[in-house]
Chain A
Amino acid sequence: MATATIPSISEATLSPGGGLFAPPQSKKPVYTVRDVSAARPQAVRLAYREASPAKQPKHVLFAASYNPRLRIIRAIPVELSRRQGQFQARFKAADEFGVGPSMSMALEDLGKTLADLFIGLSEKRDRLGHDLLGLHARLSHYIAFRDER
């Protein structure tokens, strides 16, 4: 399939009649010489800075389930803090917490604790004081048993 070659402005030349005509195609390479002596590029120094550490979030929404009997029906708002080299993840509404040497381990501890607590409260439901009954109700906004669909 033949393709028409459109000459660029620099390649095109005016014919004696004033029309544009393309120079004959040549297989010879074309070299252009540029004088770079006048404008010598300035030396550039690259300085590498150590990336500033990512800021630790103070709040996260947490929805990992650590017990196959349970499912998380709403993300749990968690406060994160660091004390004495330990990370603490706290679910304030339930006064429950997880601790660990890293943020993810503190969150994992909290997730497992919440799962244990929810199951424990559900099993003891008929014997709970009103404060723990309230806690169970608050947890039920976020956690449910899988068979309770």
Chain B
Amino acid sequence: MTRLLSDKIETIEPGFGIEMMTLAAAVAEPLAAKQAVTDLVEEAEPDVSGLIDLLANRVGEQKLYRIAPVASDVPERSVQHIPAMAPETGAEWPGHWPRPSRLLAHPEPIDTVALLPDHPPVSFTWRGMRRRVKRADGPERVFGEWWKRDPELIAVRDYFRIEDDAGERYWVFRAGDGEDPLTGSQRWFLHGIFG
């Protein structure tokens, strides 16, 4: 408690001085004795709430979060921020589908040489470097979520997992199904990098 208070004390501008201090507790709960370890074998779960209070006090509560999965097909929407002490959301990603360990914040346009409509690119240029594709898997079709935005009703993305000469793996997609111009621009983007 003292630590929490003293952390912020230096930010207080006392002006002509402080005459009185009142501490009000909006909510108070009885602190009863609790057995920490119920079993000799069982490891006591470390209590991080004190640390989280301290950190939240210092950097602000919004800046302290955990990342939780969201059951959404659209990769950008498949992650959410939840408060540090929030319980597990219970949402899960389908475990047997490979997903890149690093997802770019914004898909980056790439120049590709690819046969439409079903084939993965033969080669692509990303950040000025041209890479030849050796292996590919796909397409994995992701449909837009029409309840978020109207144009997503017919929007389609075809994701491919590709591996270049050097053995590096990327996650690329084509906006659109390769046939119908209404489903997307048919341009290619790089969206993630596998570890």
**Is chain B found bound to chain A in the same assembly?**
no
